[in-house]
Amino acid sequence: MQVLKAKKEWSDNIAAPYVMEQVKPLAEVLQKISSTIAEQHSARKAGQSFSALFLGPQGSGKTTMAAALGKVSGREVYRVALSQVVSKYIGETEKNLAKIFDAAANKNWILFFDAADALFGKRTDVKDSHDKYANQEIAYLLQRIENFSGIVILSANSKTNIDPEFIRRLRYVIDFSVLKTK
Contact present, 155 and 114 (Cβ < 8 Å): yes
Give the residue ranges of DSSP H helices in the chain.
17-32, 37-45, 62-73, 82-85, 92-104, 129-147, 164-169
Query: Which comes out higher in pLDDT, residue 50 or 18?
Result: 18
With H, G, I as helix, E, B as strand and everything else as coil, classify residue 111.
Answer: strand
Question: Quick one: average pLDDT of 103-121?
Answer: 81
- The fold for domain 2-6+51-175 equals Rossmann fold (3.40.50)
pLDDT band at 55 (very low <50, low <70, confident <90, very high): very high
pLDDT band at 110 (very low <50, low <70, confident <90, very high): very high
pLDDT band at 77 (very low <50, low <70, confident <90, very high): very high
Q: How many CA atoms lie less than 13 Å away from 141 in the CB half-sphere?
A: 30
Q: Which residues, including other chains, have CB under 8 Å from residue 116's CB and lie 6 or more apart?
A: 53, 154, 155, 156, 162
Of 161, 156, 157, 105, nearest in space to 138 by CA: 161
